[in-house]
Amino acid sequence: MKIIISLLLIVLTACNNPNNSQSVEICDNDIDDDNNGLIDCDDPACSIYTICSLKQEICNNGTDDDDDGFVDCDDQDCYYDDECYNPGEICNNGVDDDSDGAVDCDDPDCSSFPSCTYLREICDNGTDDDDDGFVDCDDQDCLDFEDCITVEICDNNIDDNGNDLVDCDDPDCDDFLNCQTEICDNNIDDNGNDLVDCDDPDCENHSNCLVEICDNGIDDDNDNFTDCFDLDCLGDSSCSLSNEDCDNNIDDDGDNLIDCDDSDCSFAPSCLLGIECDPASDFGCSILGTGNDHCYFDEIEGEGYCYSGEGTLDVNESCNSTVECAPGLMCLEGFMGSKSCKKICHLSGVGECDVLCFDAFSNETYGVCLP
């Protein structure tokens, strides 16, 4: 009632004032109605008007304008102000609602949200904080935690997972292409370095990649056969028999030297060993690398003989006859009566067997490898 009376007095005063020919100030229209240079609540005429008697918060001046203890956007009066309106982070929807780069419990705004306060795994305290059955680094919540990164990066020369094994030395890298070992006889680039088989340095000492030098007295390719005894030297000039037949008692090449007296026969088995061929090296039956004859061992005669054919059974495979075994092997009966292929060796040889060359035939020249 007092407010109504006051307003009536203002209006009557304005109407009865002979010096005021202007309109009365309306206090909420942003217009200087009475043309006194003061608008709305800034005009003393509006001082008792309700909207002007209450102080309003200005939302961007850093001042508690309405004296309610809250400044600018902290004041509820500014909730819908363009500079203050923000729906805030919703803490369980997987969305960065306030666009600050942090989602849900990662946003400090959610620090007091229950599921963020009590059910978040702390990754280095030995406790199952979120009660999901997984502790610290075993919890998926800790996948990005620095101390929980356990995957070895296989080509950075760093021990990424802290097990003192770096790159390819770490079992985690067993399937990493650059950690694969080159297989030296499969025509495949196994380790992904664009070098295949013997072109790869990994194969430097592989028997398939070593070359036998046929006149240096060394087993260069580590296959237990030296120089002309090595099949790799068949047809090599150092091992050639020229035109001399080394066991016919004729001077075939007309140099006045016959058979083993001719230097062309230096490496002929019949001259070296006094036999037709060497069953341990399969040497002598196809001396120039031609034909399909292979040298096999005759246990009764104690010497080699040429056989037109080639067995396929490998060491320790069951057999019935020697010619079923691959060249260099023979079919030998064991203690229990079963027969299997065994490697033939020279009793005077060195390095032909892993353990020893056993005199199985009471023969001066040949035995079999044990075990």
Phi, psi of 145 (to 5 degrees): -70, 130
C-alpha neighbours within 13 Å on the C-beta side of residue 159: 6
Give the Cα separation of 277 and 203 in Å (integer): 33
Distances (CA, A) of 304 to 170, 276, 279, 308: 52, 6, 5, 13
Place of tokens 């028997």: 207
Confidence of residue 19 (pLDDT cuts 50, 70, 90): very low
Give the Cα separation of 352 and 340 in Å (integer): 19
Q: What is the mean pLDDT of residues 29-38?
A: 88
Give the Cα separation of 125 and 134 in Å (integer): 12
Give the Cα separation of 357 and 371 in Å (integer): 9
Ramachandran region of residue 176, left (φ > 0), alpha (ψ -120 to 50) or beta? Answer: beta
Q: Quick check: 149 and 140 in contact, CB under 8 A?
A: no
Bigger pLDDT: 276 vs 14: 276
Residue ranges of the domains in the chain? 2-53, 273-371
pLDDT at 4 over 50: no
Give the Cα separation of 121 and 98 in Å (integer): 24
What is the enclosing helix (H) or strand (E) of 114?
Answer: helix 114-117
- The one-letter amino acid code at 97 reads D
Q: Which of 76-90, 120-134, 159-173, 234-248 has the lowest mean pLDDT?
A: 234-248
Give the Cα separation of 302 and 183 in Å (integer): 39
Q: Is the pTM of this model over 0.75?
A: no
User: What letter does residue 307 receive in the DSSP assignment?
Assistant: E
DSSP for 150-210, written as a single string: -PPPTTSSS-TTSSS--GGGSGGGTT-GGGSPPPTTSSS-TTSSS--GGGSGGGTT-GGG-
Q: Which of 172-181, 217-226, 268-277, 287-296 has the lowest mean pLDDT?
A: 268-277
